[in-house]
């Protein structure tokens, strides 16, 4: 069981009973007390629970009290293994001391989960889950854009975020998409979301499209960028050789798997 999956199970248990003891968790998960104490301490820093001697209590004012929101980016997320592989690879392009932009979405959240341990890093994001994931890191400054909260993605977008983006500069921007077409580029769900993504890209030195394999050949309502607008596309695989050839003429493709990473001319 992955660490994130175990922590999600712990949250589900404590939500049911209001409290939990480490001795009970040790028996259920078969891991050491040290590991479980670390799990509880991390969840406490994120505001989900309060640590007690030998266990924890549910935090009554938890910022994500609903079970559906607690599971964002966890069990039930499509193509989770692929998204985790992409997240691990993406942070190889990040260095301590940088300013970076993280878009919203479950693949982007996996990038955030691999940023722990970076120093003097500033992360600008429109994603509530990303901000919460990094909230316990003393060496990472998180700037949350303003805007209207979208309940499905827990992202804040709109003119308020655009105003903020006009006044920043970042070294890297990691942007998600709902679909990728060789002819029409990258798609998202609506025009406001598309404008937010374009403004994020406009302030970045290097731009990374972050999509799993299911997005290739798919389309959505609004095209927001052409292929050549990005420097790299990070994905788990691209099986269509014809599509790969069309994409490779316009953008650097980086394929990411659990055990290996490949790409033409990609920096290691």
Query: What band does 267 get if pLDDT is binned at 50, 70 and 90?
Result: very low
46 three-class SS:
coil
Q: Which pLDDT does position 62 carry in this prediction?
A: 52
Q: Is it the case that residue 69 has pLDDT exceeding 80?
A: no
Buried b (16+ CB within 10 A) or exposed e, 190-227: eebbbbbbbbbbebbeebbbbbbbebbeebbebbbbeb
Percent of the chain with pLDDT over 90: 54
The segment(s) of the chain belonging to CATH 3.40.50.1360 are 80-263
Q: Which pLDDT does position 122 carry in this prediction?
A: 98
Under the phi-then-psi rule, with left for phi > 0, alpha for psi from -120 to 50, and beta for the rest, what region is 154?
A: left
Specify the higher pLDDT residue, 13 or 34.
34
- Cα–Cα distance measured from residue 254 to residue 235, given in angstroms and rounded to the nearest whole number: 6
Q: Is it the case that residue 48 has pLDDT exceeding 50?
A: yes
The segment(s) of the chain belonging to CATH 1.10.10.10 are 3-70
Query: What band does 33 get if pLDDT is binned at 50, 70 and 90?
Result: very high
* Short-list 19, 11, 53, 59, CA closest to 33: 53
Query: What band does 239 get if pLDDT is binned at 50, 70 and 90?
Result: confident
Q: Is it the case that residue 66 has pLDDT exceeding 50?
A: no
* Short-list 37, 41, 18, 12, CA closest to 26: 37
Q: Is it the case that residue 72 has pLDDT exceeding 50?
A: yes
The CATH class, in words, for 3-70 is mainly alpha
Averaged confidence pLDDT in the chain: 86
Task: Name the CATH architecture for the domain at 80-263.
Answer: 3-Layer(aba) Sandwich (3.40)
């Amino acid at each position: 069981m992955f660490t994130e999956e175990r922590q999600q199970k712990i949250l589900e248990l404590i939500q049911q009973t209001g409290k939990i003891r480490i001795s009970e968790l040790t028996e259920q998960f078969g891991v050491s007390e040290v590991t479980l104490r670390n799990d509880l301490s991390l969840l406490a820093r994120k505001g989900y629970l309060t640590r007690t001697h030998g266990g924890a209590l549910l935090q009554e004012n938890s910022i994500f009290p609903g079970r559906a929101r607690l599971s964002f980016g966890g069990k039930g997320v499509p193509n989770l293994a692929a998204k985790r592989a992409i997240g691990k690879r993406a942070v190889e392009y990040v260095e301590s001391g940088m300013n970076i932009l993280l878009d919203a979405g479950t693949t982007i959240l996996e990038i955030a989960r691999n940023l722990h341990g970076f120093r003097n890093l500033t992360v600008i994001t429109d994603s509530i889950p990303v901000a919460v994931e990094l909230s316990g890191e003393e060496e990472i400054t998180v700037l949350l854009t303003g805007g209207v909260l979208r309940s499905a993605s827990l992202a804040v977008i709109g003119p308020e975020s655009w105003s903020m983006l006009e006044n920043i500069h970042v070294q890297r921007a990691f942007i998600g998409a709902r679909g990728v077409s060789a002819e029409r580029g990258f798609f998202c769900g609506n025009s406001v979301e598309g404008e937010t993504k374009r403004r994020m890209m406009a302030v970045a030195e290097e731009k990374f499209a972050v999509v799993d394999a299911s997005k290739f050949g798919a389309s959505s309502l609004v095209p927001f960028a052409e292929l050549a607008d990005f420097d790299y596309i990070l994905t788990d695989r691209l099986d269509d050789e014809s599509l790969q050839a069309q994409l490779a003429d316009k953008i650097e493709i980086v394929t990411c798997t659990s055990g290996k990473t490949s790409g033409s001319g990609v920096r290691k």
